[in-house]
Structure 1
Amino acid sequence: MLPHVWPRAMANGETAMAAAEILATPKQIFTALVTDEVERWWGSAETYRMTGWTADLRVGRNWSVTVRTADGRRLPASGVFLEIETPRRIVQTRRYDWDHPALGRHETTVAYLLEPTARGTRLTICHGGFAGFPDAAAEYAEGWARVLGWLQGYFGERRQVA
């Protein structure tokens, strides 16, 4: 059995970054990130779940989702796709339609880079736009490590690299 590569994350005050190797092809991961498949793996009963995912997967078009928290709140999030290179790269804006405790309604930009490896795919996430919100950058670095762990679990338990 191959060793497990745990997610790693860091923040520099303006940007949060995280990376992990996932036992799936870039195409499988790309699909899990930009379709309603996100509702199957993103979150946990103890934290939050993604529901109502919709996306028009074209540059300049919108995506939206509702974050359903463990205590039952429904928190909408949305954005616009800025770049799409299937299955290698996704860049999108992100904003909340509620007052996030560390970020408010400030819009940020998330870039996903998917690189094939011998075991599957290295997914690197670069989440920028936190200038003036260093606590939010640190919080998001931790959050992205958790998200990558959920994605690893989803593919590790349910799928094999084709």
Structure 2
Amino acid sequence: MASADLPAPPDEVIAALVTTKVERWWGSPETYRMTNWSADLRIGGGWNVSVETADQRLPASGKFLEIEMPRRIVQTRRYDWNHPALGRKETTVAYLLEPVGDGTRLTICHGGFAGFPDAAAEHADEWARVLGWLQRYLG
């Protein structure tokens, strides 16, 4: 679980998370970038993205399970390659958005790591970094 207060209204935060805007902010030259984002934003609709590193392009995908715009989106997530700590195990990510003053408190709950403690720890650290990128993009 990770949380941050963001300097934008919920509809802008949601757009940054589930549209091609993902490609503008998610990542850095030192780590990886998200590219080729596509989504069918409806319950049961799928999404796909490429995680692009300096020397690889790694696909990830999932389905939207719940959509309550602009308050909540729940989706599955799976790496379509053998992630070193998680393999191809499917997890679930919930984005919860709450208006706070002129901005939004975004809470991310990422579950489904039973039996994969190293992957859980890695993803917890990564969400903190991702929220930092999103704060800079929206700020």
Q: Percent identity?
A: 74
The one-letter amino acid paired with 2:23 is E
The number of equivalent residue pairs is: 139
Asked if residue 89 in structure 1 is aligned to residue 62 in structure 2, the reply is no
Asked if residue 127 in structure 1 is aligned to residue 110 in structure 2, the reply is yes
Quote the residue 2:100 is aligned against.
117
Q: Which residue of the other structure, out of 11, 18, 24, is the alignment partner of 1:34?
A: 18
TM-score by length of 2: 0.99
Structure having the higher Rg: 1
Q: Matches of 2:138 and 2:64 in 1, distance apart?
A: 25
Q: Matches of 1:72 and 1:25 in 2, distance apart?
A: 36
Quote the residue 1:54 is aligned against.
38
The one-letter amino acid paired with 2:129 is R
Quote the residue 2:62 is aligned against.
79
How much has 1:72 moved relative to structure 2? 2.2
Render the CA deviation track for 1:10-30: whole Å, top value 9, x for unaligned: xxxxxxx00000000000000
How much has 1:119 moved relative to structure 2? 4.0
Quote the residue 1:149 is aligned against.
132
Quote the residue 1:5 is aligned against.
none
Quote the residue 1:68 is aligned against.
52
Render the CA deviation track for 1:74-95: whole Å, top value 9, x for unaligned: 0000000000011100000000
Quote the residue 1:98 is aligned against.
81
Q: Which has the higher contact order (CA 8 A, sep 6+)?
A: 1
CA RMSD of aligned residues (A): 0.6
The one-letter amino acid paired with 2:126 is G
Q: Matches of 1:27 and 1:155 in 2, distance apart?
A: 12
Q: What runs of 5+ residues in structure 1 fail to find an aligned partner?
A: 1-16, 157-162
SS of 2:113's partner is coil
Q: Matches of 1:132 and 1:85 in 2, distance apart?
A: 30
Quote the residue 1:18 is aligned against.
2
